Chains A and B, each alone.
Chain A
Amino acid sequence: MEETVEYAQATGLLGGVWLLVAIPLLSAAILLLLGRRADRWGHWLGVAAIGAAFVLGLSFFFQLRGLENKSVELSLWDFIAVGDLRVDFGLLFDPLAAVFVLLITGVGFLIHLYAVEYMAHDAGRRRFFAYFNLFVAAMLLLVLGNNYVMLYFGWEGVGLASYLLISFWTDRPSAATAGKKAFLMNRVGDAGLAIGIFIMFATLGTTQYDEVFNGVGALTGTTVLVLGLLLLLGAAGKSGQFPLQAWLPDAMEGPTPVSALIHAATMVTAGVYLIARSNPIFSANSTLQLVVVSVGALTLLIGCIIGAAKDDIKRVLAWSTVSQIGYMFLGVGLGGGAYALAIVHLLAHGFFKANMFLGAGSVMHGMKDQVDIRRFGGLSKHMKITWLTFMMGWLAIIGMFPFSGFFSKEPIIVAAFEREDWTAWLFGGAALLGAGLTAFYMTRLFVLTFHGPQRWTEDIEHPHESPKLMTIPLILLAVGSVGAGFLLSTSVPDWLTATAGLGGEHGEHEAVLSHAVITVLSLLVTVLGAGLAWFLFRAGTATAPQPAGVLVTAARRNLYTDAVNEAVFEKPGIFLTRALVYLDNRGIDGLVNGLAAAVGGGSGRLRRMQTGFVRSYATSILAGALLVMVAFLAVQAGWLA
């Protein structure tokens, strides 16, 4: 662990890493600045920019493979240089960043392509693509920065883009509210991250990754704990983890491609990236790791339970995202070799979740924007491609062999069982239970949407399959959902070991159960969950809400987390605000108003000296001159100074 982190200078082709951020940013700027003039071709510019970034990313990736030291740094300019604070505007391209770049630009490109058609009838399509490109640029900056301040820049940038895109349909009050909610909950996390960065600067005097990681060893345990918890708070905010998970499902108010790209495949994984990137900090304190694991385990269960009770297709997917990121947190919290497993799951998830979101968008496209799964049914006959591709995603997410989820999720479950004490049972059990629940609610979603009797609303006569531009990305992503898992799980962990600190040995402890048993168990719970759901929902479901027991009611109400938020944060917050307003009105305003009145009054009085008569001006100049003269002479005589 105590090895020093060293980054090489970027040379040759890799000197152009900055282009990855610059191209989408430039495209966004062009789209925003040209305004309506770019309406006709703007979306293609947006797509082309991301395509170019993907091709560049790919070539950088191959370049990087041939290098000895697989972490190259490119220092662009001194970003902030005030006193001791030196922040480099620099980029870092290493294996971890490289896989993120490929995920963001690759999946991003497909989703951009899809959005061309999906947003075809929207008057704001150009604006949409501008924000979309802005998002990609910010996300790439986030993963490419070589210090925490750059990361924070990208962090806030994706936050802004996410806010703009969630409330993209500004005429819908719910969209505006959801945007606000996302914004506020993210702020809580962002504040944590910001304070964490301040602490880093205060204790280590730097925010550069290499210097921070090399300096962590010298910090006290408490400092590392506090620092790690603050980073975790930031990560939880961005990734929709407990206790900051509530905004993510509401964020589905944005257009579906947004949900697919930002709130499923990329931005929400920023928290996982942050923890994986900061692994030297997290590995330095076992309490910290325990907290991360707990957050992950708790969130993955919360996500599953709520997901099982929701009827809105996008919200179910959203809660499943929350749950799957819980798995990733579990992985990064376990430390050592599990970091890489979490990243593999992240990549695989990027494919199959984007696939399913786009599939959901395709369904909505054909069903006049209906999102209620109780109002679907029997769509497999009408939307063959969507059905088949969605099936791939479904099989992948529930972890069915040999789809990608199996290869990415199962190792995390195994790793959870590999802890040294009784927590192995706790976290392993949670992960296993989560697998069963995932199988249940995802099967419910799949069956209710595509199979069983038709329960459509009256205005839909013949749902149609989506046009080619939408189905081609679906097919490509489905291929990824099938194959990516195996490929990734065999190659990525080795590749990632070149990243600073990610080279830990896999399996430091013996698992409490043998590997084979865990594999069989996890497949078993998956089949059980899926079979149960198939059995319960093959004949459809009622189209109206049904009375339900305690657990389902609780799940429908998001396990009362909103109520808790309301009681714990909102109510006291409102009270605090009122109290502050009172104090402000009575106390501070009084003071400020008093001061203002004094200034205003003084101003009014002084104004009268400005009489407009030259003679009085001359007198005041003379008086001033005498004063200055006397003062100078006083200085000379040594009376002053």
Chain B
Amino acid sequence: MTELKLPSIDYAALSPILIMLGTALLGVLVEALVPRRWRHVVQLTLALLAVLAALTMVVLNSDERIITAGQALAIDGPTLFLQGAILVLAAMALLLIGDRSVERGGAFVAQAAVTAESADDRRQAEGRNGLTEVYPLTTFAIGGMLIFVAANDLLTMFIALEVFSLPLYLLCALARRRRLLSQEAAMKYFLLGAYASAFFLFGVALIYGFTAGMPGRPAGVDFATIHAAVSESPASQVLLFAGMALLAIGLLFKAAAAPFHVWTPDVYQGAPTPVTGFMAACTKVAAFGALLRVFHVAFTDANWDFTPVLGAVAVLTMLIGAVLAVTQTDIKRLLAYSSIANAGYLLVGVLAPSRDGLAGTMFYLVAYGFSVLAAFAVVTLVRDADGEATHLSRWAGLGRRSPFFAALFTFILLAFAGIPLTSGFMSKFAVFGPALENGQTWLVIAGVLTSMVLAFPYLRVVVMMWLSEPGESTPTVTVPGGLTSAALMIGVLATLVLGIAPAPLLDLATGAAEFVR
């Protein structure tokens, strides 16, 4: 029997991940040990502190460029940047998740197991405190995402995918009101997510097969091996390309790119709004972080032959997102389609194989994350006796009733539409510019055209809010407590600041935009 050699592990470099996972475990214990009425405060504080601690460690590690844990995790520029992004956005999302001032008891169900729409269910909706299990679930998800963007081999990546997906499936089911919709969303997300995971796993298997048979190198699914195999492996290229396609499908599913986007509107609509914001911001960062790493590290030597195919996916994604957004009547579904279209723009950045393209994509992820969280923060505020009023007709005349929040939402929508002096403009500029330089003119043209289509639904909401008379059914905006206000203001300010002075973050992204292999 050969001696077992333990891989060297750089615990300091991994500390953000360890902190998040450790806190999640601690959170489970809190559920068991801390009295019910203290749990909310303890859990929320714990989660926020953990995110802050992890963020501090990311900042302290910012010069780290290593591959550790036996080739499983790469802590390099993009990893640290994206981990930082996930943590900052997750902190904002936690503020939304923890808010109990907007809705009595919070946005989460008090008792998930009662039959939906039953008398018991109505009783729980009337203000009993929500489940506090959401915090360990969220921290697990954050931890998974941190691993996901650092994963340096496909199996680690798969595990991380499951680690952050499973809590999300559960979180989707925990909306306090409209329980059926919420449960249905979770069910759909779970089934389709599992389905997509299978594609991913099958891709991993094919790639493994492809790497076998290289002289002097064992088969494997770590990126260095795959990278070497692309030019050296004697195996059929069919294996490589089929495997790449299947991997891409698995990741594009998480990124909500067409035609794998179908779950997005239903899930975004059914999930509790803070969770929707969390998914729209953080899941997007994680999914694109993994896509970037897979294509920039493992498959660079495939000469980017796959660009036209992924380009077609990008164009299709933008088109579907933009065109379908036009006829949406529910604000959460509208934002879901907008998020799909944004996935298309992000893909344009992924397909610009240069340092600027990479930096632009990372900038886009952060900028979009801030804006989308702010948008969902406003959505949580517009409500009536039955909870959030998400139907667009209910938003008519909101500018008259609540000019401040309507103005904030207008600003965010303008940012989504890419109006200058907002981060939306700068981020589109940051991905389209490198794409042009790399000869992907057609993607940029498609991007600009679909942005124009997409401006219509945004502006329609703006027009409705400001130019329509408030009707009987126009709800007022609940004045939010500190947590939601903080998240909202952070999001809006970031959208403004990144639009006016994007240089510091862009420089940071450019400085970080180099993978280690």
B195 within 8 A of A: yes
Residues of A within 8 A of B262 (CB): 610, 617, 620-621
Chain A proximity mask over B186-204: 1 for CB below 8 Å, otherwise 0: 0110011001100100000
Question: Do B259 and A633 touch (CB < 8 A)?
Answer: no
Contact A631 B324 (CB under 8 A): no
For A612, the chain B residues whose CB sits under 8 A away are 266
A539 within 8 A of B: no
Contact segment of A67-75, A264-272, A351-359, A599-607: A599-607
Cβ of B11 within 8 Å of any chain A Cβ, yes or no, is no
How far does the alpha carbon of A606 sit from the alpha carbon of B313 in the complex, in Å?
17
Q: Take A599-B453, A632-B241 as given contacts and tell me if A606 and B324 are in contact as well, using a CB distance cutoff of 8 Å.
A: yes
**Complex alpha-carbon distance, A94 and B191, angstroms:** 72
| Dominant secondary structure at the B interface | helix
Residues in chain B near residue A604, CB distance under 8 A: 327
Asked if A590 is at the interface (CB within 8 A of a chain B CB), the reply is no
CB A628 to nearest CB in B, in angstroms, measures 5
Cα–Cα, bound, A610→B327 (Å): 12
| Cross-chain contact B308 with A617 (CB below 8 angstroms) | no
Indicate if the CB atoms of B253 and A621 lie closer than 8 Å: yes
Using Cβ atoms and an 8 Å threshold, which residues of chain A touch B326?
599-600, 603
**CB-CB under 8 A for A636 and B266, given A599-B323, A618-B195, A641-B305:** no
Which residues of B sit under 8 angstroms from A76, Cβ to Cβ? none
Chain B residues contacting A55 (CB-CB under 8 Å) are none
Q: Closest B-chain residue to A601, C-beta based?
A: B327
In this complex, the interface size class of chain B, counting residues with CB under 8 Å from chain A, is: 35 or more
Tell me the bound Cα distance from A603 to B337 in angstroms: 12
| A621 close to B260 (CB less than 8 A) | yes
Decide yes or no: A635 and B266 within 8 Å by CB, A603-B326, A628-B245 being known contacts.
no
Chain A residue nearest to B188 in the complex (CB): A614
- The interface residues of chain A lying within 8 Å CB-to-CB of B258 are 624
B393 beta carbon closer than 8 Å to chain A = no
Closest to B240 in A: A636
Cα-based distance from A633 to B332 in the complex (angstroms)? 37
By a CB distance below 8 angstroms, the chain B residues around A632 are: 241-242, 244-245, 248, 306, 309
The answer to whether B188 touches A617 (Cβ under 8 A) is yes
In the bound complex, do residue B245 and residue A621 qualify as a contact, i.e. CB atoms below 8 Å apart? no
Give A625-641 as 1s and 0s: 1 = Cβ < 8 Å from B's Cβ atoms.
10111011101100011
Tell me the minimal C-beta distance from A600 to chain B in angstroms.
Answer: 6
- Contact (A635, B191) CB under 8 Å given A603-B326, A604-B327, A610-B265: no
- Chain A residues lying within 8 Å of B263, measured Cβ to Cβ, are 617
**B308, A633: Cβ atoms closer than 8 Å:** no
Q: Are B238 and A625 in contact (CB under 8 A)?
A: no
Chain B residues, CB < 8 A from A623:
259
Verify A629–B245 contact, CB threshold 8 A.
yes
Is there an interface contact between B309 and A628, defined as CB atoms closer than 8 Å? Answer: yes
Q: Could you give, for residues 324-343 of chain B, a 1 whenever the CB lies within 8 Å of some chain A CB and a 0 otherwise?
A: 11110000000000000000
Q: Is the CB of B199 within 8 A of A635?
A: no
Count residues of A near B (Cβ-Cβ below 8 Å).
Answer: 28
* Contact present for B242 and A621 (CB under 8 Å): no
Q: What is the CB-to-nearest-CB distance from B188 to chain A, in angstroms, rounded to a whole number?
A: 5
Nearest A residue to B307 by beta-carbon distance? Answer: A641
Q: How far is the CA of A628 from the CA of B187 in the complex (A)?
A: 26
Cα A620 to Cα B308 in complex, Å, equals 21
Contacts of B237 in A (CB 8 A): 636
Asked if residues B242 and A617 are in contact (CB atoms below 8 Å), the reply is no
The binding surface of chain A is classed by DSSP as: helix
User: B249 interface residue, CB < 8 Å from A?
Assistant: yes
Q: Knowing A607-B324, A607-B327, A629-B242 touch, does A624 contact B306 (C-beta < 8 A)?
A: no
Chain B: minimal CB distance from A622 (Å): 8
Residue of B nearest to A598 (CB): B323
| In the complex, number of A-B residue pairs with CB atoms less than 8 Å apart | 95
- Assess whether A628 is in contact with B249, with CB atoms less than 8 Å apart: yes
Which residues does chain A contribute within 8 Å of B327, judged by CB atoms? 600, 603-604, 607
Q: How long is the Cα–Cα vector from A408 to B456 in the complex, in angstroms?
A: 59
- Report yes or no: B253 in contact with A631, Cβ–Cβ below 8 A: no
B147 sits at the interface (CB 8 A) = no
Closest to B433 in A: A82
- Assembly CA distance A45 to B198 (angstroms): 68
- Digit string of A578-620 for contact with B (CB within 8 Å is 1, else 0)? 0000000000000000001001101110110010101001101
Q: Which of A30-79 contact B (CB under 8 A)?
A: none
A617 contacts across to B, CB distance below 8 A: 188, 192, 262-263
| B246 at the binding interface (Cβ < 8 Å) | yes
Q: CB-defined interface of B247-264 with A at 8 Å, one 1/0 digit per residue?
A: 011000100001110110
B249 to A614, Cβ gap below 8 A? no
Partner of B324, one of A603, A620, A624: A603
Q: Which of B196, B248, B324 contacts A628 (CB 8 A)?
A: B248
Nearest CB in chain B: distance from A153 CB, A: 14
Instruction: Assess the A621–B248 pair: CB atoms within 8 A.
Output: no
Among B191, B259, B307, the residue within 8 A (CB) of A614 is B191
A418 CA to B187 CA in the complex, in Å?
92
- Identify A602's interface contact among B260, B265, B323, CB under 8 A: B323
- Residue B320 CB within 8 A of the other chain: yes
Contact B453 A620 (CB under 8 A): no
CA distance A558 to B175 in the complex (A): 71
Q: Beyond A606-B323, A625-B199, A625-B249, is A631–B266 a contact (Cβ under 8 Å)?
A: no
Q: How far is the CA of A485 from the CA of B340 in the complex (A)?
A: 70
Whether the Cβ atoms of B199 and A631 lie closer than 8 Å is no
**Quick one: closest A residue to B237, CB to CB?**
A636
Task: Decide yes or no whether B159 CB sits under 8 A from chain A.
Answer: no
Closest to A619 in B: B262
**A635 vs B304: C-alpha distance when bound (angstroms):** 10
Q: Is B312 an interface residue, CB under 8 A from the partner?
A: yes
Given A606-B324, A614-B187, A635-B241: A624 in contact with B259 (beta carbons within 8 A) = yes
Q: Are B260 and A635 in contact (CB under 8 A)?
A: no
B246 partner residues in chain A, CB cutoff 8 A: 625, 629
> Which A234-288 residues have C-beta < 8 A from chain B?
none
Q: Return B463 CB to nearest CB of chain A, in Å.
A: 14
Distance between B231 CB and nearest chain A CB, rounded to angstroms: 15
Q: Give A609's nearest chain B residue, CB to CB.
A: B262
Q: Chain B residues near A624: list those with CB within 8 A.
A: 249, 258-260
Within 8 A of A (CB), among B177-228: 187-188, 191-192, 195-196, 199
* Complex CA distance for A631 and B246, rounded to whole angstroms: 12
> Could you tell me the distance between the alpha carbons of A246 and B242 in the complex, rounded to whole angstroms?
73
- Chain A residues with Cβ below 8 Å from B266 are 610, 612
CB neighbours of A635 from chain B (8 A): 241, 305-306, 308-309
Q: How far is the CB of B502 from chain A (nearest CB, A)?
A: 12
Closest residue of chain B to A596, judged by CB? B456
Say yes or no: B249 contacts A633, CB within 8 Å: no
Report how far A620 CA is from B259 CA in the complex, Å. 7
Rounded to whole angstroms, the CA-CA distance of A618 and B260 in the bound complex is 9
Q: Roughly how many angstroms separate A620 CA and B453 CA in the complex, as a whole number?
A: 24
Q: In the complex the two chains form, what is the Cα distance from A640 to B304 in whole Å?
A: 12
| Residue of B with least CB distance to A613 | B188
CA–CA, A604 to B329, complex, Å?
A: 12
A606 engages B320 (CB within 8 Å): yes
A599 to B337 alpha-carbon distance, docked (Å): 15
What mask results when residues 85 to 124 of chain A are scored 1 for a CB within 8 Å of chain B, else 0?
0000000000000000000000000000000000000000
Besides A614-B192, A628-B313, A641-B308, 17 other A-B contacts (C-beta < 8 A): A599-B453, A599-B456, A604-B327, A614-B187, A614-B191, A618-B191, A621-B260, A621-B262, A624-B259, A624-B260, A625-B245, A627-B259, A628-B245, A628-B248, A632-B306, A636-B237, A636-B305
A-B contact pairs, 22 of them (CB 8 A): A596-B456, A600-B327, A602-B323, A606-B323, A610-B324, A617-B263, A620-B259, A621-B192, A621-B249, A621-B262, A624-B258, A625-B199, A625-B249, A627-B259, A628-B245, A629-B245, A629-B249, A632-B242, A633-B238, A635-B308, A636-B241, A641-B307
Chain A: residues with CB nearer than 8 A to chain B? 596, 599-600, 602-604, 606-607, 610, 612, 614, 617-618, 620-621, 623-625, 627-629, 631-633, 635-636, 640-641
Nearest 4 interchain pairs by C-beta = A624-B259, A632-B245, A636-B241, A617-B262
